[in-house]
Amino acid sequence: MASEEASLRALESLMTEFFHNCTTNERKREIEELLNNFAQQIGAWRFCLYFLSSTRNDYVMMYSLTVFENLINKMWLGVPSQDKIEIRSCLPKLLLAHHKTLPYFIRNKLCKVIVDIGRQDWPMFYHDFFTNILQLIQSPVTTPLGLIMLKTTSEELACPREDLSVARKEELRKLLLDQVQTVLGLLTGILESIWDKHSVTAATPPPSPSSGESALECLAHLFSWIPLSASITPSLLTTIFHFARFGCDTRARKMSSVNGSSQNSVLGQERGRLGILAMSCINELMSKNCVPMEFEEYLLRMFQQTFYLLQKITKENNAHTVKSRLEELDESYIEKFTDFLRLFVSVHLRRIESYSQFPVVEFLALLFKYTFHQPTHEGYFSCLDIWTLFLDYLTSKIKSRLADKEAVLNRYEDALVLLLTEVLNRIQFRYNQAQLEELDDETLDDDQQTEWQRYLRQSLEVVAKVMELLPTHAFSTLFPVLQDNLEVYLGLQQFVVTSGTGHRLNITAENDCRRLHCSLRDLSSLLQAVGRLAEYFIGDVFAARFNDALTVVERLVKVTLYGSQIKLYNIETAVPSVLKPDLIDVHAQSLAALQAYSHWLAQFYSEVHRQNPEQFISLVSTALEAITPLISSKVQEKLLLSACHLLVSLATTVRPVFLIRIPAVQKVFNRITDTSAQRLPDKAQVLVCRALSNVLLLPWPNLPESEQQWAVRSTNHASLISALTREYRHLKSSAILPQRKVRVEDTKVIIHQTLGVLEDIVESISGESTKSRQICYQSLQESVQVSLALFPAFIHQSDVTDKMLSFFLTLFQGLRVQMGVPFTEQIIQTFLNMFTREQLAESILHEGSTGCRVVEKFLKILQVVVQEPGQVFKPFLPSIISLCMEQVYPIIAERSSPDVKAELFELLFRVLHHNWRYFFKSSVLASVQRGIAEEQMENEAQFSATMQAFGQSFLQPDIHLFKQNLFYLETLNTKQKLYHKKIFRTTMLFQFVNVLLQVLVHKSHDLLQEEIGIAIYNMASVDFDSFYSAFLTEFLASCDGVDSNQKNVLGRNFKMDRDLPSFTQNVHRLVNDLRYYRLCNDSLPPGTVKL
């Protein structure tokens, strides 16, 4: 190597060149290679030590420290002990000499390198490592440096990231725990002295502020891993809370903004930062759920302190409203404080509520103020979450202690009613226009909702939870507000005038339009609220709350009819871009709210159908009059779909016997079956057809079988389906002829539309009585046969095949019994013939996602077939297994893409799970004769091939497939004792264990560590003796990268435990230590002789 001086100059110029913006990537790669080679040389560290003490170039220092880091973490075992002693003494000296002048990121990196040495060598070879840190902290000049070292030690040693042996990890943790009391004592001292200086007038500058920040950062990290214990003293807690006060001190912010001295400004910012860090410490303690008895009193003390902080934050005085005070506080502080409140309610409320000293009701009053004065929407959302947690807590408390229900509710009633009223005000433009107009109602988030929808939904969840606890209060709060807005809406009729082009709303003054806009938006929200509460009027409370519910439903029926009769959705307005969407939305929401009460209507029907059903009949008939005019392709889709959904609910959930006789319903029948009428948009068409089909197919409630009029209904259903499929059935004759391009597109549209409707009809009755399914299949029979005849003609057009297979899958799931065996066999045979190896390859490899979907649906159909009990479809098993193993599997086995794999393995699992006797014939006689049930094995080759495919899937990176397949094997073992079968035990068991252990060693599926550990245990426990005597020894013998001595240690450390927790702990220890030894051995210089 060249001289140190020359090397340093060369390195500096290389570094400057590397980071220069004109350097090409090619040249950067050359430099990188050069630097890596330099770092690999034995003794390169000596040069780096010289570089660190002689250069001012940041890049060079960073590079030198990286060389040390690599040496210590990857090669330390092979470094001669004399060199280690030198490095351990030089680096700390370097840090002490230069820590004030080094850039902070270089200083922190140097600290980390020294801590890395401590992680390897303390206390055996580096006995003064921790004492040095404590000395640095105690000397005022080096306190900041000592705190950085302490925090780095906590980060690197308490939960070490790099590979260390398990024994070393445990030793480090124990060593650190021994030091905790001393360390916390020192930190308390530092914080107290800083607090004393801060609380004196600001004239005397406090000690280095960064010491306070560093001390609190250290505490926060220590609290993340040390157990709650007496080491965390009352004086330490009190001091932390003193600092937390800074955050809620608007003076601190003021200080930094007043045009006074710059010292005051800096002081204000420091105090703000100290407040935020103190809250982080408190939250670390709060997040621990496991609280020892002796610590409970500390907790109570903490909550009393926080109570004081919350009072301080929400205090009103002449100069401040609560909101302006919150606006002045640092956002991060508010965020931390909200986190604290959430932890308090979710983790500790049940503990604290029983202490008479803690004023829970007053706490809720303060939380109320804090919530409704939040300066940001996100802050408000977070507080609503806290109330939701509180309401959940109350609900579950009442369910578990029904006797105290009244006492609990009385204690909190006032708070809940206040909360409800305020949340309702917050969603109304009448009270909260400025804030609500800021919410975005255009952009969808990850949950497919806009900011406004999320705001409304979260608010309504709170309303619903209060309703569950206090139904009468909630209703009497909400209903009058709804009434007020309804009056405005129902009063619009007087402003409707007829103009040349139609109807116009004669409200034109800007102010009136704005007020109308707000009222309509509020009505829409309140309708959603009323709909959300529907579930609290049914079941056991139906009779008790009948009158309230009836009032609501009557209003809703009236409103929907009113909207449809005066056609507000088509009316001209002064500001069409605003008022028209408002009117449409209110109409749609009123239909949706009425739909929410369909279960209530069903219960009402069952209560009154025998005596006086007039009121019920009138409600349903009026609702249908409101729906029918909206079922038209001229109506806006939002409104049309709301009407369709309501129609479906009336037909499916309520099912009144007289539905079919209502003229409004007959009108819809005629419209849908009339080929000359314009077709509705697809979604609406599907919904209306489902409703009409259900009117005819679903059994009427409250009536015996003899009065169901199945014969008439069956005829009507057949003619409905016949009308809906007329064009589709005509395709059969033309499918055979070659078609022109235009015709093909038209044909595709007919197929998509018709099968969409039919598939939905089948799906909606798949869980119903046999009679309904029989009638449905009779009506569909011809269309099903047409579909099967068309299938071969479209096999090369994956979009059509996809739709057809979707339909057949739904048929198999819902109507396979009705289809009968011969026809089902014909369908399966057709599919098996069509999906040749070439066709499968074309679909999977060349047709992208649609092609893969086609194959997946085909496999799903086969999943239904192989699950069918009885002998009917057993003859298909051989060809299904051979399709899987000889045709599909070879195409997808080598592809990295997960397409088709999950479905294929599910099918293989179903084959095994539901057809176990196809492989294992257990004969009672044989087991009696021999005394042991060693079943005969059949179809062994197919079983072995399937198991091999499962084994292969564990070698692939796809974690979802891995998890699914591991679950399948474990299920087969639980249900059918897979691991105990002779063929598995003797030829496969330890291959699987080996693969799973290798997966753990390679860390490729780390998220599944626990599941893999349990599976290894279940496999090993079949024959522990062989596992310990043969397998483990062979496994260790085959491990490369470790020497025989290390293998012996690994074997010895694997205790012969036979219970699950100890066994899996041994597995994880083995895996961890094997990785650690490999890392150590890789770090030895070449040619090292180990004794």
Whole-number average pLDDT of the chain: 88
The per-residue pLDDT for range 43-96, each reduced to its tens digit, is: 889 989 988 888 888 999 999 999 999 889 888 888 888 999 999 999 999 999
- 504 phi, psi to nearest 5 deg: -135, 145
The per-residue pLDDT for range 706-735, each reduced to its tens digit, is: 999 999 999 999 999 999 999 999 988 765
Amino acid in position 266: V
Query: pLDDT value at position 1089?
Result: 44
Interatomic CA distance for residues 339 and 349, integer angstroms: 14
Interatomic CA distance for residues 266 and 498, integer angstroms: 70
Rounded percentage of the chain residues whose pLDDT exceeds 90: 56
pLDDT at 569 over 90: no
Between the CA of residue 169 and those of 70, 124, 162, 342, what are the distances in Å?
Answer: 20, 15, 10, 33
Query: pLDDT value at position 1?
Result: 47
Rounded to a whole number of angstroms, the distance between the first and last alpha carbons of the chain is 31
| Selection from 842, 921, 825, 839 nearest residue 879 by Cα | 825
Q: Is 820 helix (H, G, I), strand (E, B) or coil?
A: coil
pLDDT at 923 over 60: no
CB 258 within 8 A of CB 328: no
Name residue 502's beta-bridge partners: 499
- 320 phi, psi to nearest 5 deg: -135, 140
The half-sphere exposure of 619 on its side-chain side, counting CA atoms within 13 A, is 24
- HEC string of 353-418? CCCCCCCHHHHHHHHHHHHHCCCCHHHHHHHHHHHHHHHHHHHHHHHHCHHHHHHHHHHHHHHHHH
Least confident residue range of 248-257, 420-429, 663-672, 990-999: 248-257
Residue 79's contacts (CB-CB under 8 Å, 6 or more residues apart) are 71, 87
The per-residue pLDDT for range 202-239, each reduced to its tens digit, is: 444 455 657 889 999 999 999 999 988 767 888 888 89
pLDDT at 337 over 80: yes
- 897 phi, psi to nearest 5 deg: -65, 140
pLDDT band, very low/low/confident/very high, at 1058 (cuts 50, 70, 90) = very high
Interatomic CA distance for residues 526 and 531, integer angstroms: 9
| Selection from 65, 136, 49, 149 nearest residue 106 by Cα | 65
The per-residue pLDDT for range 599-643, each reduced to its tens digit, is: 999 999 998 877 778 899 999 999 999 999 999 999 999 999 999
Least confident residue range of 118-132, 155-169, 508-522: 155-169
Stretch 1009-1024: mean pLDDT:
94
pLDDT at 135 over 90: yes
User: How far is C-alpha 988 from the chain's CA centre?
Assistant: 37
pLDDT band, very low/low/confident/very high, at 1091 (cuts 50, 70, 90) = very low
Residue with token string 């932890």: 343
The per-residue pLDDT for range 434-493, each reduced to its tens digit, is: 888 888 888 888 888 999 999 999 999 999 999 999 998 899 999 999 999 999 999 998
Residue with token string 């997946």: 856
Query: pLDDT value at position 870?
Result: 81
The half-sphere exposure of 83 on its side-chain side, counting CA atoms within 13 A, is 15
Buried b (16+ CB within 10 A) or exposed e, 682-696: eebbbbbbbbbbbbb
pLDDT at 257 over 70: no
pLDDT at 252 over 70: no
Question: What kind and span of H or E run contains 936?
Answer: strand 936-937
Pairing verdict, β 936-937 and 920-921: antiparallel
Interatomic CA distance for residues 161 and 155, integer angstroms: 9
Query: pLDDT value at position 295?
Result: 74
pLDDT at 253 over 80: no
Could you tell me which residue, 128 or 4, shows the higher pLDDT?
Answer: 128
